[in-house]
Structure 1
Amino acid sequence: MIPYKTILKIDRASKQPIYIQLTNQFINLIKERTLPPQAKLPGTRTLSDLIGLHRKTVIACYEELILQGWIESIPKKGTFVHKDIPLLQQQEWTEKVIDRTDDKTGFSFNKNPILNRKFPQDYTEDYMYVNDGVSDERLAPIKELSIIYRKIANKKHMLKYMKYGTTYGNTELRETLVCYLNETRGLNITKDNILITRGSQMGMFLTAQLLVDNQDYIIVGETNYSSVDTTFEFAKGKLLRVRVDENGLNTNDIEKLCKKYAVKAVYTTPHHHHPTTVTLCAKRRIHLLNLAKTYHFAILEDDYDYDFHYNHAPILPLASHDTCGNVIYIGSICKTVAPVFRVGYLIASKAFVDECAKLRRFIDRQGDAILELTFSNFIKDGSLDRHINKVVRIYKARRDLFCKLLKEELSEYLSFEIPMGGMALWVTLNKNYSWDTVTEIAKQQKLIISEWQRYDVANIKHNAIRMGFSCYNETEAREFVKRFKKTMVLVDA
């Protein structure tokens, strides 16, 4: 006789219903073979008396076990463990303590080394990071967005947006962005040319999956946004690299490669090249568009920080000059407002957008319709423009201060050009120093320089990294430079 009274334990303080607690314990007894197949269970009245529970609780437990297929009730005979429960194959018992830290998996799966990245580990809040150039979340218009979101969510007709919707993104946001982008970026698009994405990276992933067949050639800069390199390599594309100078991608190099290879696409960040921050000059912009028309390749234009320009008006994107449907234009509201708001867009020919929408169904299905409606209203009532005007003034002041501090305190160790826009500097370390050494010693000053190697995947040994300034206020910028200088003094010691 199984000692049910001592084996079965009930926690009356638990939020889990008592009959479910009882059910789970019976399941464990069956899996462990304490209750083997065809073992007879005590009657509900008998068990309720043994363990001190109401009979209805035991009945509910047995009914649940029957529904799940663990036990069966045979009329006029009783309740039994189901005869067809197979033996659970468990690891043999050993007195040696098993090390579980390797997190073993009981099945095979693909591991792609292309995806390997040394992401920074978490540190306490008193650490500072050298970042790529990110917006300051403290400046995000949370109050304005919250008011709009609540107002929208409280309307009864919003219930229809709680259902599955279109994979193209919320229709109202698409229409709003069409007007906004046509006015601000000189585009000439309709709703059919735009797909809402969860940020620019989704747009790049969709593009790579649809553009690239095995070993297709993709042209990128010698210095390039490393996530795009990974995205195209994951799609089994083959990267061809061209030089980048003070005028951006060298389009003469691109032309030479087009004569030699069947190039499928060129990736570019023409407004502020990532990572060097330089702007693609007008001559090269037109040359690149003409090459795309001649050699029938796509131009993937990533306009990740169009709104942040300080010295003069933003330069119109390549997409505004595209007359042959060669440009796939990708942008995002994430970097303008805050990274947490995953709202971006992909703009291309209707045929390409349609195909992206089909593929998107099997990746993410759809976006957040209420959030997208919120941003539609945020754009239409002028709040986005007001936010941009505000943060551009702040980021310009932060750029100027950051550059001033670096020149005053660290000019003997590094050099840079003041960028016309964006949220980061391209900083070159004196050739007498190594980022390897600087990175290790910087940790002593609670300054983290992560993944600096990704800025030189072509191994041209430029000894430079991208250094963001936009997320640091005056006090933080001074502290950042102070820690960096202490680091370099220790490197020299």
Structure 2
Amino acid sequence: MSSPESIPYRSFIQFDRDLNQPVYLQIAQQFINAIARGHLRSGTKLLGTRQLAELLDVHRNTISAVYEELFSQGWVEIIANRGTFISSELPTLLPSNEMENQYPKAAGYPFKKSFLLDNPFEKIEYDLSFNDGTPDIRLTQIEDLSRIYAANLKRKGNRKKMGYYNQDGSEYFKEQLTHHLQLTRGLAISKENLLITRSMEMSLFIIAEIILEPDDIVVVADIGYFSSNMIFQKAGNRVCTIPVDQDGIDTTALKQLCESEKIRMVYVTAQQHYPTTVSLSAQRRLELTQLANQYGFIIVEDDYDYDFHYEKQPILPLASNDQNGMVIYVGSFGKSLAPGFRTGFIVAPENIMQEMRKHLGIIDRQGDILMEQALGELIEEGVIDRQLKKSIKVYKERRDYLGKLLTAELRDWVEFNLPKGGLAIWLNWKKPINLYELAKRCEQRHLFLPKTLLYQTHHIRGTRLGFGNLDSQEMSQAIGILKEVLSEMEN
């Protein structure tokens, strides 16, 4: 509840001492108008008579008369030893034609509307839901996170940093993250090659602003990440698609496109292709970088799920072997942590990084210096490594368990390969099925299948099932519901 002192009384109380109507009645009417228009809501505490009288430059007895008048009409209630409050049960409000200061429902001027940016995400709260591969918040080491963040908040040396933020971010965090990326992803970079962002989407937005001009051609996979496609299309770019198979994007098709069109950028998720989870093969990685050098297009490598791999040695990013400055590397840090502790980053050559910092300074000048300090300590203390080792073991068990469930319960319906990394399995449906009807019927049984996980066209019928957020019992329940619904739809 707001403090009585924070209410802007003088903005809605106007009175004229020369009028025949008593001042206390004028003020009382102004209060009634403010209540009717929603400026003062039920339960709001008003200033005491002495304070309000001083504020409005009237006698205290005048304000007492105002409150008594409002009380007699039922607009306020006076509680002994507590004060005067707007009534919880108000009288009939004023007619709408007297509420001339109501906030307008629509703008009085034309403006551009973007259908491209309509939010594709649905929000339904069910105990059981599949997602596109997000971690389980229950596995997060909340104690370590809260300890380090609280320590940074209390540290006197950080107080000056709260009032000023360098748009380059925390130098300490950048140093720690640079070292982390050198060790885990084989990137021979310095902190001058690193830009800290809020998310992958912000990273792609900045890249599009700097690299792309309207009508530039951006190449993506024919089924890929919808958010990145939305960003490129909103920038006015031509988005061309190439096929993706069990070895990743088709580089032969890409070469054919390069021979007929001037390609500016290729967006790729090489480690685990989104949504199908396949990895770009070693041969195609080589062909992709050769094509970039030959035709001069930029590779934007989105490594959204690099941390979650189940092989002893994951494949290093394309950026780790980039000798000619043709790869811009986009990633996320702290995905295994609670959402508020995650951040994004861009790795690129220093000269283009200078332009990126300019744009970041406009759209996110404030940043979050304390969070970045805390994340730096999580790296230095080894909390991140310990967290990942524990969580990857759990996620591998969940991946294997979901694979067994799918084989045992839905083998007549789906085929799949267990991914080498990531937190989702891609299902190819063997039988004709309306996936949107499937999702609708599952929802009736309180199992949520977001539409963003369903891919159904004349050529594709697939579903991306995230397993990271479900334990074995929850997965058994969810697959049981899927089996029941599929049996109903078949009959």
TM-score of the superposed pair, with normalisation by structure 2: 0.82
Going from structure 1 to structure 2, the CA distance change for 1:21 and 1:188 (only over 3 Å counts) comes to: closer
Secondary structure in 2 matching 1:112: coil
Match of 2:195 in 1: 195
Match of 1:116 in 2: 118
Distance of 1:40 and 1:343 partners within structure 2:
65
Match of 1:107 in 2: 109
Secondary structure in 2 matching 1:425: strand
Match of 1:57 in 2: 52
Letter in 2 for 1:109: F
After TM superposition, the structure 1 stretch with the greater mean CA deviation from structure 2, 483-492 or 332-341, is 332-341
Pairs within 5 Å for 1:380-399: 380-399=380-399
Distance of 1:47 and 1:114 partners within structure 2:
50
Secondary structure in 2 matching 1:133: coil
Match of 1:311 in 2: 311
- In 2, are the aligned partners of 1:265 and 1:299 still within 8 Å (CA)? yes
Going from structure 1 to structure 2, the CA distance change for 1:258 and 1:23 (only over 3 Å counts) comes to: same
Going from structure 1 to structure 2, the CA distance change for 1:310 and 1:53 (only over 3 Å counts) comes to: closer
Deviations 1:252-289 (A, max 9, x none): 11111112111111001100000000000111111111
Deviations 1:27-85 (A, max 9, x none): xxx5xxxx6899699789x999xx9975663232359xxxxxxxxxxxxxxxxxxxxxx
Secondary structure in 2 matching 1:147: helix
Match of 2:147 in 1: 147
After TM superposition, the structure 1 stretch with the greater mean CA deviation from structure 2, 111-120 or 253-262, is 111-120
After TM superposition, the structure 1 stretch with the greater mean CA deviation from structure 2, 337-346 or 387-396, is 337-346
- In 2, are the aligned partners of 1:23 and 1:62 still within 8 Å (CA)? no
Secondary structure in 1 matching 2:135: coil
Going from structure 1 to structure 2, the CA distance change for 1:460 and 1:293 (only over 3 Å counts) comes to: farther
Letter in 1 for 2:145: L
- In 2, are the aligned partners of 1:169 and 1:366 still within 8 Å (CA)? no
Match of 1:486 in 2: 484
Deviations 1:367-401 (A, max 9, x none): 21111011101011111111111111000000000
- In 2, are the aligned partners of 1:173 and 1:372 still within 8 Å (CA)? yes
Letter in 2 for 1:115: L
- In 2, are the aligned partners of 1:278 and 1:419 still within 8 Å (CA)? yes
- In 2, are the aligned partners of 1:441 and 1:490 still within 8 Å (CA)? no
Secondary structure in 2 matching 1:328: strand
Distance of 2:345 and 2:439 partners within structure 1:
36
Secondary structure in 2 matching 1:300: strand
Going from structure 1 to structure 2, the CA distance change for 1:209 and 1:454 (only over 3 Å counts) comes to: farther
Distance of 1:453 and 1:344 partners within structure 2:
23
Going from structure 1 to structure 2, the CA distance change for 1:21 and 1:158 (only over 3 Å counts) comes to: closer
* Identity rate, percent: 33
Distance of 2:256 and 2:176 partners within structure 1:
41
Q: CA deviation at 1:217?
A: 0.1
Match of 1:473 in 2: 471
Secondary structure in 2 matching 1:113: coil
Match of 2:40 in 1: none
Pairs within 5 Å for 1:204-353: 204-353=204-353
Q: CA deviation at 1:130?
A: 2.3
Deviating 4+ runs (over 4 angstroms): 35-44, 51-56
Distance of 1:56 and 1:250 partners within structure 2:
75
Distance of 2:304 and 2:353 partners within structure 1:
19
- In 2, are the aligned partners of 1:176 and 1:376 still within 8 Å (CA)? yes
Secondary structure in 2 matching 1:240: strand
Secondary structure in 1 matching 2:425: strand
Going from structure 1 to structure 2, the CA distance change for 1:434 and 1:174 (only over 3 Å counts) comes to: same
Distance of 1:409 and 1:56 partners within structure 2:
72
Structure 2 residue runs without a partner (length 5+): 32-46, 59-94
Deviations 1:134-156 (A, max 9, x none): 10011112111111112222221
- In 1, are the aligned partners of 2:308 and 2:392 still within 8 Å (CA)? yes
Q: CA deviation at 1:16?
A: 1.1
Going from structure 1 to structure 2, the CA distance change for 1:460 and 1:433 (only over 3 Å counts) comes to: closer
Q: CA deviation at 1:340?
A: 2.8
Distance of 1:373 and 1:118 partners within structure 2:
33
Distance of 2:186 and 2:271 partners within structure 1:
14
Letter in 2 for 1:120: E
Secondary structure in 2 matching 1:314: coil
2:10 aligned with 1:23: yes
Q: CA deviation at 1:334?
A: 4.2
Distance of 1:383 and 1:412 partners within structure 2:
43
Q: CA deviation at 1:311?
A: 3.0
Distance of 1:449 and 1:14 partners within structure 2:
41
Secondary structure in 1 matching 2:336: helix
Give me the CA root mean square deviation.
Answer: 3.1
Secondary structure in 2 matching 1:115: coil
Q: CA deviation at 1:468?
A: 0.3
Q: CA deviation at 1:221?
A: 0.4
Secondary structure in 2 matching 1:270: coil
- In 1, are the aligned partners of 2:335 and 2:342 still within 8 Å (CA)? no
Q: CA deviation at 1:462?
A: 1.2
Distance of 1:305 and 1:341 partners within structure 2:
16
Q: CA deviation at 1:110?
A: 1.5
How many aligned residue pairs are there?
435
Q: CA deviation at 1:360?
A: 1.2
Letter in 1 for 2:299: I
Q: CA deviation at 1:160?
A: 2.1
Going from structure 1 to structure 2, the CA distance change for 1:212 and 1:59 (only over 3 Å counts) comes to: same
Secondary structure in 1 matching 2:463: strand
Structure 1 residue runs without a partner (length 5+): 1-12, 64-92
Letter in 1 for 2:404: K
Deviations 1:424-481 (A, max 9, x none): 011122332120221221122112222247746xx45310011101111111111111
Going from structure 1 to structure 2, the CA distance change for 1:453 and 1:148 (only over 3 Å counts) comes to: closer
Q: CA deviation at 1:119?
A: 2.3
Deviations 1:330-359 (A, max 9, x none): 111242323332412110011221111111
Match of 1:168 in 2: 168
Secondary structure in 1 matching 2:341: coil
Distance of 1:433 and 1:366 partners within structure 2:
49
Going from structure 1 to structure 2, the CA distance change for 1:293 and 1:40 (only over 3 Å counts) comes to: farther
Match of 2:38 in 1: none
Secondary structure in 1 matching 2:363: coil
After TM superposition, the structure 1 stretch with the greater mean CA deviation from structure 2, 153-162 or 135-144, is 153-162
Match of 1:464 in 2: 462
